[in-house]
Amino acid sequence: MKKAYLGIDIGSVSTNLVLIDEKNNVLDSLYIRTQGNPINTIKNGLKKLKDNMTEELKVSGVGTTGSGRNLGGIMVGSDVVKNEITAHARAAIHFVPNVNTILEIGGQDSKIILLRDGILHDFGMNTVCAAGTGSFLDRQAERLGIPIEDFGHMALNSKSKIRIAGRCAVFAESDMIHKQQLGHNQEDIINGLCEALARNYLNNLGKGKTLNGPIVFQGGVAANKGIVRAFEELLGEKILVPPYHHVMGAVGVALLAKEEVAKTKRTNFTGFEIANSEYTVSTFECNHCPNLCEVVKFYKDDTLISNWGDKCGRWSNSSCTDEKFA
């Protein structure tokens, strides 16, 4: 039976699942909207992966990343649980081994990762301003009545440059409306928005950093050719967009899981059958000390399988399951 390795990136906007083979080729990838329900999204993703299989595969390793990595890791029995910086860097090195700079723009946040000789040198994350994220682009595409898939192509058809304020999502939208009222066409406004987002990203995340080539651009927004061109003009460098740019976190953690299993010779993967189980969460406040931690209890089919959320490890590091001991 052919071996495969599973990577799951659980984010607030999307959950991505990737299967790779022993030669690190991507066998299948899924991009699913999380819609505020990561448990059901993971279950649905596993079911779809299983249904999509055209040959018999044995999942020999699994890894999770993203903001829901710990929750997902318990569900699927992760062999590795890694943060997004590590996962994205590992995937970029796989496709561009000598990469020095990684630009990543997702649905809800953005990151910049600097590597030197394949080692993490510096990084930055923007989780505050929505002006440079995919969700802001989605909103503007919807407001203009344009499919988001066409946004980048329309920007490339721009004939006249106009400047859109990109420092803040509110100002950017107000400025776009103002430019519409002045009679500018949609192609020029969209191109102006792409340039504003690239400028805002570099001013926020790239400030004070040396961005050496090769530069890789990944995340869902990397599909927007207008923003790719804007980065190239601002940085004076060729921007490389790898295949599977929208699921790079999942690719990276699948590669890391494969490397981990090569050392341990075993996997903790709980199987595709978990898609048929019911998972529930409850919380309580631990009164054992003044920290008053909110402890999360995670159940599979009414059986408690994990606790987390405490600072001292009283719950997460033990089999203690009775709240009266708190």
3-state secondary structure at position 318: coil
Same-domain status, 191 and 110 = yes
Answer yes or no: do 125 and 230 share one domain.
yes
Q: Quick one: 103 and 55 in the same domain?
A: no
Please give the pLDDT value at position 30. Answer: 94
Helices and strands in the chain: count of H runs, count of E runs: 9, 13
Residue 175: how many CB atoms within 10 A of its CB?
A: 21
Q: Are residues 83 and 146 in the same domain?
A: no
Residue range 301-321, pLDDT digits in tens? 888 888 888 888 888 876 655
pLDDT less than 50: residues of the chain: 323-326
Name the pTM for this structure: 0.85
pLDDT score of 167 = 67
42 and 125 belong to one structural domain: no
Indicate whether 127 and 178 sit together in one domain: yes
Residues 19 and 69 reside in one and the same domain: yes
Instruction: Please tell me the predicted confidence (pLDDT) of residue 326.
Output: 44
User: Which pLDDT value is given to residue 6?
Assistant: 96
Same domain, 111 and 224: yes
Asked if residue 121 and residue 236 are part of one domain, the reply reads yes
What is the total count of domains within the chain? 3
Q: Are residues 128 and 205 in the same domain?
A: yes
Q: Looking at the structure, do residues 133 and 56 belong to the same domain, yes or no?
A: no
Q: What is the pLDDT of residue 64?
A: 96
Q: Can the peptide bond before residue 147 be classed as cis, meaning omega within 30 degrees of 0?
A: no
Query: 10 and 63 share a domain?
Result: yes
* 279, 298 Cβ separation under 8 angstroms: yes
Q: What is the CATH number of the domain that holds 127?
A: 3.30.420.40
169-181 vs 186-205: helix crossing angle, rounded to 10: 160
Range of the domain at 145: 98-241
Q: Phi then psi for 304, rounded to 5 degrees?
A: -70, 125
